[in-house]
């Protein structure tokens, strides 16, 4: 098969199968680019046909939205713009607030930082356990009616929550981590998206850099967000890098890079899956986009499936504290601490 499938549908929008996750231009991963480097990458992405840009109020506590606002809004008609609320900064710390009042205030801040009067796709970044999902979605439905957003999305939520939310207002997209080494979406959410006609947006589709060859035995900087994830510490890291080495061999046999194989595998799972890899490198962005011109066999994807069967990856996906902030399903026997 070829990874160059038909464009993907997300609510009322049609986008290329590969978009751009903008988080690590301002937030979480290290090393971080300079503002000039980040701006050049964003403009280059547009030139290369990227038509789906994903940001959030959390990223850089507003800095990422400001970056997009000053860099690419002169070409606003060329792309679908997505951002997120609920998860953000509270007194300089990361916090969750899914109340309608907070959602309304965050949206106004996002519009201001992005220098727009309309955001195409606006996500609830996390489920606030203190607020019924119906109330949070209700706030966004009123924003749709007011013309401030075009469609509603959810992030890192379960199939059950998706169905509850969808009963209040049509949900356009579910965004969740999805790659060969993080397959929780296959437990229930992908099926629910298929049932409801909801697009699925895969973040970290190259396994937070591991399946792009971007993480070595030394791990990551202690200030990098991945340093708080058990999979990036030994004994888990050594085991997982062994899997990555086997994955590299499969990619070499297929005549592509590791990142291209990971992206192609993700896109092959369902026709409504869109991937949003992040990068700070123009060369890596071009490598990612070149995936769409490559051909892959079902046998190659079967090797990836077998290598990364449930239970193959060592260590929890998140720390115990971070795991408590997500609503996604876990697979039977998944380690959580």
Q: For the chain, percent helix, then strand, then coil, each to nearest 5?
A: 45, 20, 35
Residue the block writes with tokens 């209700």: 138
Q: Apex CA 92: angle with CA 90 and CA 98, to 5°?
A: 20
The partner residues of 88 in beta bridges, in order of sequence, read 95
Biggest CA-to-CA distance, the chain: 53
Contact 264, 254 (CB under 8 A): no
SS3 (DSSP) at 186:
helix
Residues classed as catalytic: 59
- Residue 17, CA distances (Å) to 100, 118, 222, 314, 326 in order: 32, 23, 33, 29, 25
Contact 267, 235 (CB under 8 A): no
Q: Which of 22, 35, 62, 31 is nearest to 225 (CA)?
A: 31
């Amino acid at each position: 098969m070829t990874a160059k499938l038909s464009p993907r549908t997300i609510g009322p929008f049609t986008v290329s199968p590969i978009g751009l996750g903008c988080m690590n231009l301002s937030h979480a991963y290290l090393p971080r680019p300079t503002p000039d480097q980040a701006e050049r990458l964003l403009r280059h992405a547009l030139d290369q046909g990227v038509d789906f840009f994903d940001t959030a109020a959390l990223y850089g506590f507003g800095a990422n939205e400001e970056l997009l606002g000053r860099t690419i809004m002169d070409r606003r008609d060329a792309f679908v713009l997505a951002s997120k609320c609920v998860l953000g900064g509270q007194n300089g710390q990361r916090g969750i607030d899914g109340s309608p009042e907070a959602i309304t205030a965050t949206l106004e801040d996002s519009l201001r930082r992005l220098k727009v009067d309309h955001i195409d796709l606006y996500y609830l970044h996390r489920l606030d356990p203190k607020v019924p999902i119906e109330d949070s979605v209700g706030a966004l439905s009123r924003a749709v009616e007011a013309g401030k957003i075009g469609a509603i999305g959810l992030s890192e939520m379960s199939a059950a929550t998706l169905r509850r939310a969808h009963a209040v207002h049509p949900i356009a997209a579910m965004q969740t981590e999805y790659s060969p080494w993080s397959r929780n979406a296959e437990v229930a959410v992908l099926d629910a998206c298929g049932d409801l006609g909801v697009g699925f947006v895969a973040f970290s589709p190259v396994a937070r850099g591991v399946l792009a060859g971007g993480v070595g035995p030394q791990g990551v900087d202690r200030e990098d967000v991945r340093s708080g994830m058990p999979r990036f510490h030994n004994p888990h890291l050594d085991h997982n890098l062994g899997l990555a080495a086997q994955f590299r061999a499969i990619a070499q046999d297929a005549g592509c890079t590791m990142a291209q194989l990971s992206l192609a595998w993700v896109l092959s799972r369902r026709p409504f899956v869109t991937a949003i890899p992040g990068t700070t490198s123009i060369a890596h962005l071009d490598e990612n986009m070149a995936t769409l011109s490559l051909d892959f066999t079902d046998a190659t994807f079967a090797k990836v499936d077998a290598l990364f069967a449930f239970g193959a990856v060592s260590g929890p996906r998140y720390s115990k504290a971070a795991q408590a902030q997500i609503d996604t399903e876990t697979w039977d026997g998944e380690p959580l601490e």
